[in-house]
Structure 1
Amino acid sequence: MKIFLNKYVALLLLFITTIVSAQLPKGLTETEKQIISDYQFAKYTMTPPPSVPVRAAAEWEEIEYLVITWQANYDGILTQIVAAGVQECKVIITTQNQNAVTNTLTNAGIDLTNVIFMDRDWDSIWIRDYAGNTIYENQVGDRALTDWIYNRPRPNDDTVPFGHAMLLDIPLYVTDTAPNDLVNTGGNYMSDGLGNAFASELILEENEPGNPYNVSAKTEAQIDQIMEDYMGIQNYIKMQALPYDVINHIDMHMKLIDEQTLVVSRYPQGVADGPQIEANIQEVLDNEVSGFGTPYKVNWIDAPPSTSGNYPDNGGYYRTYTNAVFVNKTILVPTYRPSVDNPALAQWRDLMPGYNVVGIDVDNQGENLISSLGAIHCITHSIGVADPLWIVHQAIPSAPENTSITIEASIKHNSGIANASVFYREVGTTTYQQAAMSLTSNDIWSSDITVQTSNVEYYIWAQASSGKTLSRPIVAPEGFWTIQVGELGAADFKVHTITGPFPNPARKSVRFTFKDVEGPLRVTIT
């Protein structure tokens, strides 16, 4: 025992020296690889799962706090995140140098009213991987956080969720004790708010027999049970790891933007992780359905190469536009250079009308975050609101002319729902009409509206018995869903279905993006 302790202390001191002398990447450093087998990942705090059913929040739901860890060599990137964040919610900054951060933000003209400083030790900037995840008891009840064992030997990072829970007086459930000692990481997790979640098979490898974390070996069924007990995940979709993504975090190549829609990185044919990503998505489409019981919709967004044209299979960084984060009505997207960013940001704005889409450069010479294997989603996390008004609706994509259609939504709040409405208008008009919704059964609210010959834009609004109000999409009335009415002619098809060309003007090649097109598609350019 004494020999082991001496060895462990020596390695830990070596690790601390590494932290002081250099920033930690998203992946393991060589020093961390040396100490990982001796590091004590599992704890003995005996945190049982919640005693009532819980629901893991989706990222597009309303949040109260954006949380980050301040690392000084990324001042510019973090300042832009805070500038956008304080317009939407409160921002909690973990730092031990509040004065310096205050000066940086103040000099940037940022009002600190919505900024909260948490003076706490930390090891790295990658808070997505080690912060807690918001859950709600009985779907919309009391708020809590669930924290897994962080898959890095970074002891200070692993206690940050405890700091958040203490600061905000929020219950914290931790999967750190056998048989529930689950190793997991936030970059490899996405939830739809309905009990479905995505991950890579890294979650299996990190908890299998012989794992390097010295946690109890678990079968896939046991992992699934822990995720259900602590987070309410009932369908845990796991995809094959990618050959060139060395950290195997799904947020580096895909993003769930609503209950049924995925945004996925696309590479040129046969390049880098493109073939495996395509195979994984096809596997999902062939074997899984959304929480609505319908196939997932997939929107592909081009992954940019380096300025010299390199992708991850020939020395390029893992550049991606899917490593974005929702902050209520704002979406923060990593950017690289205007020639590739402009079409990507245009695509994001087309997919998410009404949202404030903000690009933040992660590939500049002074603050090259992407070279450390992460981007914007990786260095941010969030904590949901204390009293969620939860609206779930499957958008209606099309309808025949001159017909009545039924719009339904599941609407819940802890105090109950007082009333709800559908607001709708014909495309090209400015004034919404209001149609009251009626409670039909089991929190399902419904209303019938009549469409004529023009496409219709609509959103859903609800008021809780407590007086709280919220819309879905959360950006309404500026953002909305669109019903395409009748059979589209060529002009309407172009306006509502085709985005592009990108780039414009073009040289050697040109690209168009097609939205909501099912079945075979033949394109002829003359």
Structure 2
Amino acid sequence: MDAFYQLRYIILLLCLLTLSGLRAQIDYTETPEDDIPQQFIQPNLPPQNVRTMGEWEEVEGLVIAWDDDYTDILTQIVRYAVEECLVYIIAPDFSTLSIHLAVAQIPTENLRFIYSGFNSVWIRDYGPWTVYLDKVNQRGISDYLYNRPNRTLDDQIPYEVADYIGSPLYNADENPYSWTHTGGNFLRDGVSSAYSSDLVLRENSGKTGIEIAEYARLFFGIEDYRILSRLNFDTIHHLDMHMRTLDEETIAIGEYPPGVADGPVIEANLSHLRNHYRTPYGKPYRILRLPMPPQGGLFPPFADYRTYTNSVFINKTILVPIYDAPSDEIALQLYRDYFPGYRVEGINCNEIIDELGALHCITKLIGVKRPLWIAHPRLRDVYGIQNSYPVDAWVYHETGITNVTLYYRTTPEATFLPVPMTRNLDDPALWQAAIPGTLPGTEVQYYIEAFANNGKRQVRPLPAPIGYYHFQVKDWTSAPVAKWVQTEREVAPGTRILFSNDCEEGPVSWDWTFPGGSPVLSNDEEVSVMYNTPGHYLVRLVAANPLGADTLLRTNSIRVREAFLPFSEGFTEGDLTAWEIINPDNTPVQWRWRADGGCNGPCLEVPHRDAPRKLNREYLRTAIDLREYTQASLQFGVAYAQRHPLHFDELRVNLVDQQGQHHNIYNKGGDVLSTVAEYIPGFLPSNCNDWRTESVDLSPWEGQQFILEIESIGDKGNSIFLDEITLAANALPQANIAFPANNTLYIGVGPLQQVMRVEANDSDGEIVQVDFFLGSDFLGSDLTPPYEMPYLMPNWGHYDLQARVTDNEGAQIWTETITVRYDYENSTSFLGNLPVSVNLVPNPVNTKAALIIESEAPYRGLEMTISNPAGQIISQWNGDIGNGISRLDLPVEYLSAGAYWLQVRYEDQQLVLPLVKQ
């Protein structure tokens, strides 16, 4: 471009920039119906459930904060992004930037400028999050308190962007929803799950993981918030430096050479993720491994923290950080292979990676106002010949969906063939179709197209039909390799564990064995197994396909801990009784007993200063049985002083419930954990004033057995001290209805009054009240034993009796319901409606008697009862009769002399006759 045309281009761009500045509060980026600015009131909470969009969804724009220190990288991002969407550039002044963009020949029609100051380029961490009411309705912006309190301008950017695009802002940055967080450590699946490292717990010291998960649910629609251990050498501890979600079921994970840098922790996190978590569609995750490139042959901590997972989707383009490294092309090709049809471009990030960030860290996406959202579990490779390959897609738009079509082909040069998808009658958002079966050796390519009622069209993947999903139809080449993933390895009794097939080479059958579990055997691909008894258990899987079978036996696959009733541990002796010390890294630093330092003598200590590195994790673990307890809490004494503000040791309490869900229920560190006011190197408690008693509510898990864990995380700071750990709870009272017995039969005419009697006791207190109920009618209360209450049966029929028992601490239980029957009286003839002829011989009886029954139909399971005149059941048994005449012997030899009633009953039919014992 010659100087004249270059000058004219600059003048034109300056004019456009000026016009853009005048219109900065008006959104004029979509169709004419969207040109009207939205009027709204900024609420604190979203008015209804929200969903945070996935980064691979359709976006209206990309947001960056322009920092002249990274001009080359930002210019490349803008150059690619303006071809896909709007680009919102934040800066306090655009005079120099406008000239730069003009010289770089960046097209202007998709540029938008937001005049605002900011503190840093890292907009991923503090920028706006696009959420939608009820999955796809009104667009909003959710926010939290940025974890860099000195960057106050950065923390205001979500407000500026929300104002500019005309969307309401929901801010979790003020009490009672004050949540400190950072975007690089918040990876969402676009449905209802999210991942963070446990940096989010450290940054919110004093708030539990349960509280933080509730913030994520309210403001971001996250129903399952998944916390992973942070890494040792990634000093910012953001997951996007080694991990990123690629779609609902695929996660990219960085990979170091074995044992190098953060490799061991990444592999441990990956193992936990694949075992414990499932996709929104209930499957184990697909994992795409991306190399973590070295710098000059070196890895962290001796080199920059280079990563390929710090990529960014921009509609049909994926930008990937590269470093002039030999592995750059490998990483780019892995993206291209997994996302055919996307434009995958590398941007050199050497000038920024030494600041611990790359492309994902300096970009943020704004979703479209009215998305047509297609949620789809991508088909995976299959083996052998199948009739068809079912395809599911959940499709949403605020105006509803008109039709959805599946397109597929079995050769790359073929035209895609359409298959109409049909709406599922039980789930109107679910559309289904099937790709016809094809021969092994074929790659099947497909995509999904949907139309909304307002005419909006959307495809998935976004570049379709140039882009597509694909899977292989394979033929078996070898016997399978037996493998599985399981949600837990250590549980409390009564916990269910999910075992899922993870075999290689296409098994078609699975033969599971679970000794000690229920079920013991299964042939399903996925099995939920309950373990009720403490012990160590093996699991065996035999996987087979037409070419053979493979067996995998894990001898210690499951540990079921003994669950202890509530107890106290004072550490007066060196040996622990109910707690087990867990030292996962086998370092010399672990929880240890010491004879001094406690408020009253001995205590436990974990000496973090002596650890070889930071982030050493030490545990105390046990299992608790609260099935017969209420008002439960964990209480413990803690003593700690922060060594220095830069050394932030942490103490947590974690719980694994009987559904295998992990909960953080206590979380304190640094100054929040400190029990003294000043910084003290080498702190050792000297008196009781150095200690504080903590209490953690366990009432949500009453009635369960669960794993309880005390976790200490060291930061090369001071020791943490524990003492007097108590599981405090109130034992539930025990009670039963002692009289009358269940199924007692009373016979008489007219209203009949009887008495209900309850036996009750309390192992750690006393019974203060027993309330009596006839059905739903309250009869009255008795405060002292024997606990009795009269009740009236006004007519023949069935009556339910129950009692509620209260102890001196307010705990209540209900007895089991018993049922009594009241029927008519006649001492001279047989009464009832059972269509049989009955003769009792002899009657009166002596030591032997029999029923002679004549029937036109067989009856199996006749219920026979002998009761005394008061209706108490003396004997009860079952018998069968056939067509014609049957004889049933009666157990009368142990009856005392007297009068009795004999009842013969089948379902709701019965006969009653008198029986006299001589």
TM-score for the superposition, normalised by structure 1: 0.81
Contact 1:148 1:182 in 2 (8 A): yes
Describe the SS at the equivalent of 2:470.
strand
1:68-467 superposed matches below 5 A: 68-152=64-148, 153-209=150-206, 218-307=207-296, 309-313=297-301, 315-363=302-350, 368-399=351-382, 400-401=384-385, 403-440=387-424, 441-453=427-439, 454-467=442-455
| Structure 1 counterpart of 2:457 | 469
| CA deviation string 1:242-270 (max 9, x = no partner) | 00011100000001001011111111111
Contact 1:46 1:177 (C-alpha < 8 Å) held by counterparts: no
Q: Greater share of helix residues, 1 or 2?
A: 1
* Secondary structure of 1:129's aligned partner: helix
Q: 3-state SS of the aligned residue for 1:162?
A: helix
Shift of residue 450, structure 1, vs aligned partner: 1.1
Cα gap change, 1:115 to 1:518, in 2 (>3 Å): farther
Residues in 2 aligned to 1:369 and 1:402: alpha-carbon distance in whole angstroms: 50
What is the identity percentage for the equivalent residue pairs of Structure 1 and Structure 2?
A: 39
Give the unaligned 5+ runs of structure 2.
1-40, 479-501, 507-918
| 1-structure distance, mates of 2:349, 2:103 | 21
SS of structure 1 residue aligned to 2:131: strand
How big is the shift at 1:489?
6.0
Alpha-carbon distance in structure 2 between the residues aligned to 1:360 and 1:179: 42
Q: Distance in 2 between matches of 1:89 and 1:518?
A: 42
Q: CA deviation at 1:406?
A: 2.2
Superposition deviation, residue 47 in structure 1: 5.0
Q: Secondary structure at the match of 2:196?
A: strand
- 2:476/2:505 contact within 8 Å kept: no
Deviation at 1:397, TM superposition (A): 1.6
Pick aligned residue for 1:480 from 456, 459, 468: 468
Task: Give, in whole Å, the separation in 2 of the partners of 1:428 and 1:122.
Answer: 49
Give the conservation status (yes or no) of the 8 Å contact 2:42–2:169.
no
Change (3 A) 1:452 1:204: same
Please give the alpha-carbon distance, in whole angstroms, between the structure 1 residues aligned to 2:42 and 2:67.
32
Paired residues of 1:132 and 1:148 also in contact (CA < 8 A): no
State the aligned residue count. 438
Gaps of 5+ in 1: 1-44, 210-217, 491-516, 522-526
C-alpha displacement at 1:178, in angstroms?
1.7
Q: 1:26-79: CA deviations, max 9, x gaps?
A: xxxxxxxxxxxxxxxxxxx99531121111111111110100000112111100
> Aligned partners of 2:470, 2:505: CA distance in 1, in Å?
23
Moved over 2 A (4+): 45-48, 398-402, 427-430, 517-521
- Preserved contact between residue 251 and residue 285 of structure 2 (Cα < 8 Å): yes
> What are the superposed Cα offsets for residues 189-235 of structure 1, whole Å, 9 maximum, x if unpaired?
011111100000011111112xxxxxxxx111111011101111000
Write the deviation string for residues 308-345 of structure 1: whole angstroms up to 9, x where unpaired: x11112x2010000000110111111110152211111
* Change in CA separation of 1:105 and 1:235 when aligned onto 2, cut-off 3 Å: same
SS in 1 for 2:313: strand
Deviation at residue 402 of structure 1 after TM alignment:
5.5
Structure 1 pair 518–97 and aligned structure 2 pair: CA distance change class (3 A): farther
Distance change >3 Å, CA 408–CA 158, structure 1 → 2:
same
Other structure's SS at 1:233 match: coil
Q: Tell me, yes or no, if the aligned pair for 2:43 and 2:168 is still in contact at 8 Å.
A: no
The CA distance in 2 between the partners of 1:124 and 1:67, in whole Å, is: 13
The residue number in structure 1 matching 2:529 is none
Larger radius of gyration: 2
SS in 1 for 2:327: helix
Q: Higher relative contact order at CA 8 Å, sep ≥6: structure 1 or structure 2?
A: 1
SS class of match (1:246): coil
Q: What displacement does 1:150 show? A: 0.4
| Contact residue 46 and residue 176 of structure 1 kept, 8 A | no
Q: Secondary structure at the residue paired with 1:77?
A: helix
SS in 1 for 2:354: helix
